[in-house]
Amino acid sequence: MIELLIQEQVWNLNKSFNISRGAKITADTLQVHLIKDGEKGSGECVPYSRYDETIDSVKNQIIELQLDIESGKINLNNLSSYLKPGAARNAIDCAFWDLKCKIEKRNIWSLLGEKMPNSIQSCYTIVLNSPDKMIDDAMKHLNFPMLKVKLDQNNLEECLKGIRKVSPNSTLILDANESFDFKTLDTNMDLFLETDVGLIEQPLSADKDGEILNYQSPIPICADESFHSLKDFELISNKYDSINIKLDKTGGLSEALEIKKQALESNKIIMVGCMVSSSLSMMPALTLCNNVKFVDLDGPCFLSQDIENGLVYQDGTINLRDSSCWG
């Protein structure tokens, strides 16, 4: 028998996290804990209103499956048959993986047959703000090899040129979070080339991205809000060069592993991304990062306090050997 516990967690942020569709000062998460034979496996998810999720709706999804999980009817191998991709499945799936590690006395890298690196390089997110504040933020993170720049249609030239001036060596990822129209994307492409943008993430809204079908962009375009799970590959095949794999979209590590495999076979550029949350959310995502071009797992950098035994970040380098909070 398994005991399932659900825990709501509110993480205070060290600054407002602003993107084109809004801002927040807390990260509201749900944690699932599975207890069996004295061992505890944990997973964390971030319900997201963009995908019609709330803390209560996701919590109710988990509660609906609680008895079947505790009885053993639902397990790691068949969870996807009972729950669609999304935050609820992510928390349960990752808790199952963590529990498996604890029971078998093996780390997640060993279970997956992957070599565990000592460290992984992640980008840092420059949140949407006035150009002066965004440039100042970039100056404070000069040692990060990659910067993700949150933008909308305003002040594009001032922000990008200013950030590139103070960060001449960083790879820049432009993330519009669906705030562009096609004209904004196309007419500013020379600016994006001039400032050496390496990737453009979700420029158009997901319901309008048909406008970039067969668009010959000189800079790779990445699907975030347009791509969630395995079934979306066909929908994005001739629109996007890259996909952002987030466990809260895929419904956990299990499907994310299959997505990564298919993306590599399809020659899609891979980004492994996250929501703003604790190291408990980052740890399973880190297992996807071998042979990946872009890693955006800086969520804990925005928390006033991370989970106990969380990840250690230093100038974009995540030290994997110093964390024991999962897997």
183 is catalytic: no
Give the span between the Cα atoms of 146 and 294, in whole angstroms.
8
Catalytic residue among 100, 150, 239, 249: 150
Catalytic residue among 246, 249, 260, 268: 246
Cβ neighbours of residue 297 under 8 Å, at least 6 residues apart? 120, 122, 272, 273, 274, 282, 285, 286, 289, 318
Side chain identity at residue 298, one-letter code: D
246 is catalytic: yes
Angle between helix 55-71 and helix 87-104 axes, rounded to 10 deg: 40
Give the span between the Cα atoms of 173 and 126, in whole angstroms.
10
Confirm if 261 and 235 have CB atoms less than 8 A apart.
no
How crowded is residue 190: how many other Cβ atoms within 10 Å of its Cβ?
10
Strands (E), the chain: 3-19, 22-36, 39-45, 119-121, 124-126, 146-150, 171-175, 197-201, 221-223, 242-245, 269-272, 294-295, 312-314, 317-319
Polymer length of the chain:
327
Nearest of 288, 281, 323 to residue 43 by alpha carbon: 281
Confirm if 277 and 98 have CB atoms less than 8 A apart.
no
Q: Give the containing element (helix H, strand E) for 218.
A: none
Residues annotated as part of the active site:
150, 246
